[in-house]
């Protein structure tokens, strides 16, 4: 961090410390107008705002923390990576709750916990899952179609507490439907509006814009929404009937703010928990944590891809469609320079979605099977020559007609992305590539822009489904799906479908390795590292743990809200 930026932060801290007191007890009302008893407020900040509080309706990334406050899943993943029951008992393989049928299809039975309720007090039952399946399947309703839901043939309410899911084929994740996989919908609120959509599809836009999805949201999570001030904050009060027990902290205020503002609040003692970029970790480590003011948590976040446009109708320079050019660019990514310049040598630098600490030596198995791209400018120049590009008078690659190979590199406004982009652009230029850096505008970009960029785009995350054809975003699916590059490969699709439908672990591992091999050969994305999740937890708050999330065969640390109902004051 520069001295100027550090001085700016410290000056802001001084102002905040003078003008802000520690979090105080306040009294609020819930959506029904009932008063909520006075309590100390848990205040924390994150940098992104959701577009909807219902996970499958949201179009903003990196917002699972917000959704966790107000939503729950049939199951939840704990800090060890184990799947635990949340709203329902977990199906067990080869029992009446999880059966593979003679025709190759499959059934799972989720038995809901007794006494479940929505935040408005209405009962939550199996029919709410049946209703949700109907909504997901309706054309025109702007919801993402996560893989589990797409594989469901039908959902049946056997009785008020029994949800029978019939699957088109075996699905290995059928016993771990966590939040955002297959969430229920309150039919007592939405059924009338949805009936109009079923009668007249032109009513879908009105359904998509119901205030329910935002300011009037009613969910099932540990906290009930009492206020949402766009661009500012969300407020929630503890939900007495939360499936895992009433939260121990009565009220939360979730503030939306830049990480530099978060750090000033943490240092001044006006915030209990804050997410920040890694650049601030050292500052807090040297002073704040050392003096016993709190604890720093750091761990693996999501893998960070740089998507490459592979659709001819959108690509800015056709050279990107040549795999030799993409391989040449890959050979001039200096991951050591990125690690030193962005993460002070503590980064998790990778070429695939597999982290170094993956279980069962998966990382070593994948590395043996894939094509690798070590930093090698000479090899990059050979590949560019093979593709018909040579260096011009300024040392930059151009084709036989003298037209220079130029590519745009977009990235979001996160400061670690900025430093990463600057280093990559400089390294590419020294290797002969003219790459033009571009910062995406602040705020939520048009959904279409995530898929129609002309060159390279550095934002989002990736998993094994990112490069499946079924995940390609297009106008036909209202620009949803993780496949932003438009990559399509028949063998990859075959392995992806087999991976989801195979229950044998050894076979799944080989299918996953096969997908990574194809990915490495065609390079639809440049993967550089796993993000480092950095959080500051004030000393007076206890119970915060690292959460983990399955990614294929992996387990990668993500957010820390899975047990927020257990947090309490020291």
pLDDT (tens digit per residue) in 141-185: 888 766 788 889 999 999 999 999 999 999 988 998 999 889 999
Residue 159 placed within a domain: yes
Residue 175 placed within a domain: yes
Residue 535 placed within a domain: no
Looking at the structure, tell me whether residues 467 and 411 fall in a common domain: yes
Amino acid 513: pLDDT: 97
pLDDT (tens digit per residue) in 522-549: 999 999 998 877 788 999 999 987 554 4
pLDDT (tens digit per residue) in 74-84: 999 887 778 89
Residue 396 placed within a domain: yes
d(CA 523, CA 283): 37
User: In this structure, are residues 322 and 310 in contact, taking their beta carbons and an 8 Å threshold?
Assistant: no
CATH number at 44 reads: 3.40.190.10
Looking at the structure, tell me whether residues 200 and 233 fall in a common domain: no
Looking at the structure, tell me whether residues 546 and 513 fall in a common domain: no
Final residue in a domain of this structure, among 171, 193, 213: 213
Of 369-378, 435-444, 477-486, which range is least confident? 435-444
**353-391 exposure pattern, b = at least 16 Cβ within 10 A, e = fewer:** bbbeebeeebbebbbeebeebebebebbbebbeebbbee
d(CA 85, CA 89): 5
Looking at the structure, tell me whether residues 318 and 237 fall in a common domain: no
Across residues 396-401, what is the average pLDDT?
Answer: 97
d(CA 31, CA 467): 42
Burial class for 547, CB neighbours closer than 10 Å (0-12, 13-18, 19+): buried
pLDDT (tens digit per residue) in 399-428: 999 999 999 999 876 667 888 999 999 999
Across residues 311-332, what is the average pLDDT?
Answer: 98
CATH number at 488 reads: 3.10.105.10
d(CA 518, CA 521): 5
Looking at the structure, tell me whether residues 435 and 567 fall in a common domain: no
Looking at the structure, tell me whether residues 232 and 372 fall in a common domain: no
What's the whole-model pTM score? Answer: 0.79
Looking at the structure, tell me whether residues 307 and 372 fall in a common domain: yes
Distances (CA, A) of 307 to 89, 148, 457: 39, 24, 5
Looking at the structure, tell me whether residues 80 and 114 fall in a common domain: yes
Final residue in a domain of this structure, among 213, 243, 267: 213
Amino acid 418: pLDDT: 84
d(CA 230, CA 247): 25
Three-class SS of 102-153: CCCCEEEEEEECCCCECCCCCECCHHHHHHHHHHHHCCCCCCCCCHHHHCEE
Looking at the structure, tell me whether residues 355 and 416 fall in a common domain: yes
User: Counting every residue, how long is the chain?
Assistant: 570
More confident site: 220 or 346: 220
Looking at the structure, tell me whether residues 135 and 30 fall in a common domain: no
Q: What is the DSSP code (8-state) at residue 453? A: -
Final residue in a domain of this structure, among 213, 236, 265: 213
In the chain, what percentage of residues exceed pLDDT 90?
A: 61
Cβ-based neighbour number of residue 512 at 10 Å:
22
Angle between helices 335-343 and 415-430 (to 10 degrees): 150
Three-class SS of 342-370: HHCCCCEECCCCCCCCCHHHHHHHHHHHC
Report strand pairing: 35-46 vs 251-256: parallel
Provide the H-helix boundaries in 357-489: 362-369, 377-386, 415-430
Amino acid 24: pLDDT: 45
Across residues 254-277, what is the average pLDDT?
Answer: 87
Total tally of structural domains belonging to the chain = 3
Residue 297 placed within a domain: no
Amino acid 39: pLDDT: 58
Amino acid 62: pLDDT: 57
Q: Which residues contact 329 (CB under 8 A, 6 or more apart)?
A: 380, 428, 433, 526
Residues paired with residue 409 on neighbouring β-strands, in sequence order: 437, 456
Cα 61 from chain centroid (whole Å)? 6
d(CA 200, CA 340): 57
Q: Which domain holds residue 109?
A: 72-213
Helix (H, G, I), strand (E, B) or coil at 1: coil
Q: Which residues contact 446 (CB under 8 A, 6 or more apart)?
A: none
Judge whether residue 27 has pLDDT over 60.
Answer: no
Residue 360 placed within a domain: yes
Looking at the structure, tell me whether residues 351 and 378 fall in a common domain: yes
Amino acid 215: pLDDT: 94
Looking at the structure, tell me whether residues 176 and 46 fall in a common domain: no
């Amino acid at each position: 961090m520069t001295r100027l930026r550090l001085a700016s932060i410290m000056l802001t801290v001084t102002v905040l410390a003078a003008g802000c007191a520690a979090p105080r007890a306040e009294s609020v009302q819930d959506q029904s107008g009932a008063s909520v008893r006075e309590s100390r407020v848990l205040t924390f900040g994150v940098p992104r705002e959701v577009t909807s509080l219902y996970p499958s309706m949201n179009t903003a990334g990196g917002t699972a923390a917000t959704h966790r406050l107000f939503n729950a899943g049939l199951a939840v993943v704990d800090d060890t990576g184990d799947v635990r029951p949340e709203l329902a008992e977990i199906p067990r393989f080869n029992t009446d709750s999880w059966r593979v049928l003679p025709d190759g299809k499959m059934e799972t039975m989720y038995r809901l916990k007794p006494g479940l309720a929505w935040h408005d007090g209405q009962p939550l039952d199996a029919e709410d899952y049946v209703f949700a399946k109907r909504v997901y399947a309706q054309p025109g309703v702007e919801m993402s179609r996560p893989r589990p839901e797409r594989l469901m043939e039908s959902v049946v309410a056997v009785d008020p507490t029994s949800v029978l899911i019939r699957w088109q084929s075996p699905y290995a994740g059928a016993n771990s439907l966590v939040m955002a996989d297959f969430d229920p919908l309150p039919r007592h609120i939405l059924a009338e509006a949805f009936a109009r959509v079923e009668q007249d599809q032109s009513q879908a836009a009105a359904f998509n814009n119901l205030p329910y999805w935002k300011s009037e949201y009613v969910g099932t999570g540990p906290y009930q929404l009492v206020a949402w001030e766009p661009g500012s904050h969300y407020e929630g009060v503890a939900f007495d009937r939360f499936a895992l027990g009433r939260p121990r902290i009565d009220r939360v205020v979730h503030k939306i703010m830049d990480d530099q503002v978060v750090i000033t609040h943490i240092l001044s003692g006006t915030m209990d928990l804050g997410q920040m970029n890694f650049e601030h970790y050292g500052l807090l480590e040297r002073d704040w944590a050392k003096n016993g003011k709190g604890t720093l948590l750091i761990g693996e976040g999501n893998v960070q891809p740089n998507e490459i446009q592979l659709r001819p109708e959108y690509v800015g320079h056709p050279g990107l469609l040549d795999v030799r050019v993409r391989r040449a660019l890959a050979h001039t990514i200096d991951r050591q320079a990125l690690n030193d310049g962005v993460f002070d040598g503590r980064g998790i630098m990778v070429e695939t979605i597999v982290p170094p600490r993956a279980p069962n030596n998966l990382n070593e198995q994948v590395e043996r099977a894939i094509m690798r791209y070590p930093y090698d400018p000479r090899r990059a120049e050979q590949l560019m020559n093979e593709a018909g590009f040579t260096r011009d008078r300024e040392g930059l690659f151009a084709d036989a007609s003298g037209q220079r190979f130029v590519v745009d590199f977009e990235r979001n406004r996160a400061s670690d992305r900025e430093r990463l982009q600057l280093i990559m652009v400089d390294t590419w230029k020294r290797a002969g590539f003219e790459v033009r850096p571009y910062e995406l505008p602040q705020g939520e970009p048009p959904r279409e822009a995530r898929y129609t960029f002309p060159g390279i785009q550095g934002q989002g995350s990736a998993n094994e489904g990112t490069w499946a054809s079924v995940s390609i975003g297009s106008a036909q699916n209202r620009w949803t799906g993780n496949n932003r590059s438009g990559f399509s490969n028949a063998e990859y699709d075959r392995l992806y479908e087999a991976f989801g439908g195979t229950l044998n672990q050894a076979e799944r591992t080989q299918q996953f390795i096969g997908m990574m091999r194809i990915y490495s050969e065609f390079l639809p994305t440049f993967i550089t590292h796993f993000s480092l999740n950095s959080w500051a937890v004030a000393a007076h708050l206890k119970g915060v743990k690292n959460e983990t999330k399955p990614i294929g065969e992996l387990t990668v640390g993500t957010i820390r809200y899975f047990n927020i109902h257990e947090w309490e004051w020291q």
